[in-house]
Amino acid sequence: MVKLENSRKPENISNKNIPMSDFVVNLDHGDPTAYEEYWRKMGDRCTVTIRGCDLMSYFSDMTNLCWFLEPELEDAIKDLHGVVGNAATEDRYIVVGTGSTQLCQAAVHALSSLARSQPVSVVAAAPFYSTYVEETTYVRSGMYKWEGDAWGFDKKGPYIELVTSPNNPDGTIRETVVNRPDDDEAKVIHDFAYYWPHYTPITRRQDHDIMLFTFSKITGHAGSRIGWALVKDKEVAKKMVEYIIVNSIGVSKESQVRTAKILNVLKETCKSESESENFFKYGREMMKNRWEKLREVVKESDAFTLPKYPEAFCNYFGKSLESYPAFAWLGTKEETDLVSELRRHKVMSRAGERCGSDKKHVRVSMLSREDVFNVFLERLANMKLIKSIDL
């Protein structure tokens, strides 16, 4: 039996006069505030002092292809990947961006601009990250076109497949789906935002042409808006840099310096055996605890479904482990519009239809603050579903 906090109002809500029954639990966005408590305990170890005369130039390192990348951030990125063992950084160009969202757009632009014909088809296997649709359709570019679900894609010509692994929204480990190995017009962008040991076993050192990572989902510092791409091909990296120059004339140096400091502190914590000190051990235990609570609620309700994840050997932890994804792909056994049902109980989630799926599924963030997560569990446990007649 899962023990839940009884109608305790989350301490972080801005208006303390809101009755508990009116408090809206927003788990639509993946705002990673779950890690606040850990970083609070770290005290001043991540403090960065920036004087008024610091970081004033556009330029960071004119000898680097990505000239707005701060050298200390480049070193921190390489060091962390080396410690974790989740991605190869040798013989690659590192392109820094304002989050992986900007980098994904830059990569799609780069690959499309180098293609022999346009528009280039862009696909992802459903259920896919819903923002991919917006990223590839918002500016109505003539260089590329969103073609939807990769599972049914058979169009001839150049294409780009977006592969997220572990997948957002359902947490599964993904490979390419279209698979045209002899087609030189087939391109792949690998999004490894969640390929870190607190979410999933690190089974191998990834080695792909374009690999995207984001600071926000590693440590929880979403407000810094930093991501990076590991890119093999120089021409692709150059085109990505050109896109970012036109789009934002580089990336905030203040954010880069802060990111470098925090990544270096994180790397140092990896040496600790203490669960409260070692960030990945802390994060993994927190995610495990949340998933166990959620599975208990789902089991007792007998109205909902969750994916099951196989164990795999984690090279980082040196043992077989289960996955604890950053999002829950929550389904229902009833013919129900689940996003509407949750909204009726003042819980906001991401509709399955936005991810190329159906009304019976929603994406729920597992990264909220603890008190907010507990309110969600309580409401889910008390839900009575209403069947939909038009599914």
Place of tokens 């005290």: 43
pLDDT of residue 5: 42
Is the CB of residue 337 less than 8 Å from the CB of residue 388?
Answer: yes
Band of pLDDT at residue 13, cut at 50, 70 and 90 = low
| pTM attached to this predicted model | 0.94
Report the 3 state secondary structure along the chain. CCCCCCCCCCCCCCCCCCCHHHCCEECCCCCCHHHHHHHHHCHHHHCCCCCCCCCCCCCCCCCCCCCCCCHHHHHHHHHHHHHHCCECCCCCEEEEECHHHHHHHHHHHHHHHCCCCCCEEEEECCCCCCHHHHHHHCCCCCCEEEEEEHHHCCCCCCEEEEEECCCCCCCCCCCCCCCCCCCCCEEEEEECCCCCCCCCCCCCCECCCEEEEEHHHHHCCHHHCCEEEEECCHHHHHHHHHHHHHHHCCCCHHHHHHHHHHHHHHHHHCCCCCCCCCHHHHHHHHHHHHHHHHHHHHHHHCCEECCCCCCEEECCCCEEECCCCCEEEEEECCCCCHHHHHHHCCEECEEHHHHCCCCCEEEEECCCCHHHHHHHHHHHHCCCCCCCCCC
Confidence of residue 42 (pLDDT cuts 50, 70, 90): very high
Task: Please report, for the chain, the start and end positions of each structural domain, with discontinuous segments joined by +.
Answer: 20-41+277-383, 54-270
Averaged pLDDT, 137-148: 96
CATH classification (class only), 20-41+277-383: alpha beta
DSSP state of 40: H
The reported pLDDT for the residue numbered 237 is 98
Whether the CB-CB separation of 192 and 163 falls below 8 Å is answered with no
Report DSSP state, residue 206. Answer: B
Q: What percent of the chain has pLDDT over 90?
A: 90
Percent with pLDDT over 70 in the chain: 94
Mean of the per-residue pLDDT values of the chain: 94
pLDDT of residue 389: 46
Per-residue pLDDT, averaged over 347-365, amounts to 98
| CATH code given to domain 54-270 | 3.40.640.10
**Residue-level pLDDT at 271:** 95
Q: Is the Cβ–Cβ distance between 369 and 36 less than 8 Å?
A: yes
- The residue that leads in pLDDT, 4 or 146, is 146
pLDDT attached to residue 19: 74
Q: What confidence score (pLDDT) does residue 20 get?
A: 73
**Predicted local confidence at residue 325, as pLDDT:** 98
Residue 391 has pLDDT above 70, yes or no: no
* pLDDT score at 10: 61
Mean pLDDT of all residues in 213-218: 98
What value does the mean pLDDT take over residues 205-211? 98
Looking at residue 227, its amino acid is G
Overall average pLDDT of the 336-358 stretch: 97
Instruction: Quote the pLDDT of residue 183.
Output: 86
The pLDDT of residue 178 is above 70? yes
pLDDT bin (cut points 50, 70, 90) of residue 387 is low
pLDDT in tens, 316-326: 999 999 999 99
pLDDT, position 210: 98
Q: Where is average pLDDT lowest: 9-18, 94-103, 154-163, 275-284?
A: 9-18
Mean pLDDT for the stretch of residues 284-307: 96
d(CA 113, CA 132): 18
Encode pLDDT of 92-132 as tens digits: 999 999 999 999 999 999 999 999 999 999 999 999 999 99
What amino acid occupies position 16?
A: K
Phi-psi group of 21: left, alpha or beta (phi > 0 → left; psi -120 to 50 → alpha; rest → beta)? alpha
User: Using an 8 Å Cβ cutoff, are 290 and 324 in contact?
Assistant: yes
280-303 average pLDDT score: 97
Nearest-CA neighbor of 349 among 380, 325, 374? 380
pLDDT at 57: 98
